[in-house]
Amino acid sequence: MAKEVMKEINNKSKEFYEFVLPPVDMYEDGNDLVVVIDLPGFDKKDINLRITKNILTIKANKKEKDVGGIVYFKHRPTKINKKVILPFSVKEEEVTGTASYVAGIVTLRIPLKFGTEILIS
């Protein structure tokens, strides 16, 4: 019974972390809006960013690893689906941006003359 309760607590904890993560910082730097997103443990190919009007959608998925032994905690997220409100609205035909992924951190730069195509390098 105690194992089942702990398993359910761990499942709810993981759901909570998937809901609140990833941490995001947003600021202006010269002529760009910069969005910094922490996504450690995800491969670049598993990350999808999209801007629709004034909403940045961050999606990431990775396969859960089978550890083969007793699992005491499993809080690290395997999926992210977060929406962040941008301080401006973007017309789809005007959106261009660049993103880099280094050491688990996505840095998205959107020119203040906004656009939606986001390339992760």
The span from the CA of 47 to the CA of 39, in Å, is 9
Domain layout of the chain by residue ranges:
2-63+73-120
Q: How far is CA 48 from CA 5, 12, 39, 73, in A?
A: 34, 25, 11, 27
Give the tens place of pLDDT for each residue, 28-65: 998 899 999 999 999 999 999 998 888 999 999 998 88
pLDDT for 25 equals: 94
Classify 13 as helix, strand or coil: helix
CATH topology of domain 2-63+73-120: Immunoglobulin-like (2.60.40)
Give the tens place of pLDDT for each residue, 1-18: 777 776 777 667 767 766
Strands (E), the chain: 24-29, 32-38, 47-61, 79-90, 95-102, 105-111, 116-120
